[in-house]
Amino acid sequence: MTLDNTWFSEPQSGSGTAFSLKITAKLHEEQSQFQKIEIYQTEHFGKLMVIDGYIMLTDRDNFIYHEMMSHPVLFSHPNPEKVLIIGGGDCGTLREVLKHDSVKLAQQVDIDERVTRLSEIHFPELCDANNDPRAELHFADGINWVKDAADASYDVIIVDSTDPIGPGEVLFSTEFYKNCHRILTKNGLVVQQSESPLLHLDSILMPMHQRMKAAGNSHTLTFNFPQCVYPSGWWSCTVGGNFDLASFRENDARNKTFNTLYYNSDIHKAATALPEFMKTTV
């Protein structure tokens, strides 16, 4: 919602809070086949993308989310070659994934082509890697994509979806994770954004661990990171797999051959430290 036309505000009814950004212009608004997409120019955070009233990303802080959705899971896998991104239509996660030389194929499957087309116009730097020969952009429902995919066809699946409402809801279900598990290779890993540990521990984070385990992952691990434009400013992603996820290719991460603004090997380790209230639950 906009407050007096100079602020965009996202109220959180569950926590009685709201996050607001000072805006200078509305650049675009459309109702796509799937969702309402808005783009604003903010005063201090660059451009802002909103889907169905929820903040998706801003120019200023999206690097934290996109790097944490990609690098921890890719440095946890011994040799990630085939990567599937479900959602992620803004292409920021795809760009990070393709920084890894081991990756030979990165397929992005977003239900809504309009998110990508608008990102190409308004967030061109996130789309830098779209023409990489290893990148494939598909516009389809991620739920059906994993249902139809062949067994053992991906090393890493990154679920960069909207919140568990609307077209993103089923992406948080045990059945979806079962299909992810089926289409992953032996050391395969799935990662999904798991919302705010402070606000969504019982409703999303804990059930995600349980459902990933019920789907066949013996190990799950949550990475914490700040994201000031998302509810509470504290966000997370959760990895599922079948080996000890505390171990990762630390040397490779320390000597990474590409630039990041947030991720490094120390952040990797620090992000897995759990506060007391999460220890008994996740």
Alpha carbon distance 113, 280 (integer Å) = 41
SS3 122: helix
Alpha carbon distance 46, 219 (integer Å) = 38
The nearer residue to ligand SAM, 59 or 141, going by C-beta atoms, is 141
Residue 67 binds ligand SAM (CB under 6 A) = no
Residue 190 binds ligand SAM (CB under 6 A) = no
Instruction: Give me the catalytic one of 148, 160, 163, 202.
Output: 160
Residue 112 binds ligand SAM (CB under 6 A) = yes
CB of 180 to ligand SAM, least distance (A): 13
Alpha carbon distance 16, 184 (integer Å) = 40
CB of 240 to ligand SAM, least distance (A): 18
Beta carbons within 8 Å of 40's beta carbon, 6+ residues apart: 8, 21, 23, 25, 26, 27, 47, 48, 50
Question: In 10 A of CB 59, how many CB atoms?
Answer: 17
Active site residue 160: yes
User: CA-CA distances (angstroms) from residue 146 to 87, 171, 180, 226, 269?
Assistant: 12, 10, 6, 30, 30
Alpha carbon distance 38, 216 (integer Å) = 38
Q: 23, 74, 80, 88: which one contacts ligand SAM (CB under 6 A)?
A: 88
The nearer residue to ligand SAM, 31 or 79, going by C-beta atoms, is 31
Q: Which of 34, 15, 9, 27 is nearest to 161 (CA)?
A: 34
Residue 142 binds ligand SAM (CB under 6 A) = yes
- For the chain, first and last CA: distance in Å? 34
- CB-based closest residue to ligand SAM: 87
Q: Which residues inside 145-184 make contact with ligand SAM, applying CB under 6 A?
A: 160-162, 167-168, 171
CB of 257 to ligand SAM, least distance (A): 26
CB of 65 to ligand SAM, least distance (A): 5
Q: Which of 118, 132, 192, 200 is nearest to 162 (CA)?
A: 192
Applying CB under 6 A, the span of 107-115, 179-187, 207-215, 245-253 interacting with ligand SAM comes to 107-115
With contact defined as beta carbons under 8 Å apart, do 109 and 138 qualify?
A: yes
CB of 185 to ligand SAM, least distance (A): 22
Residue 65 binds ligand SAM (CB under 6 A) = yes
Residues 11/239/197/273 CA torsion (nearest 10 deg): -140
Residue 237 binds ligand SAM (CB under 6 A) = no
Q: 90, 97, 155, 237: which one contacts ligand SAM (CB under 6 A)?
A: 90
The nearer residue to ligand SAM, 89 or 197, going by C-beta atoms, is 89
Applying CB under 6 A, the span of 7-15, 82-90, 197-205, 255-263 interacting with ligand SAM comes to 82-90
Residue 204 DSSP class: I
Residues catalogued as catalytic:
160
Residues in touch with ligand SAM (CB under 6 A): 56-57, 65, 86-90, 109-112, 115, 141-143, 160-162, 167-168, 171, 193
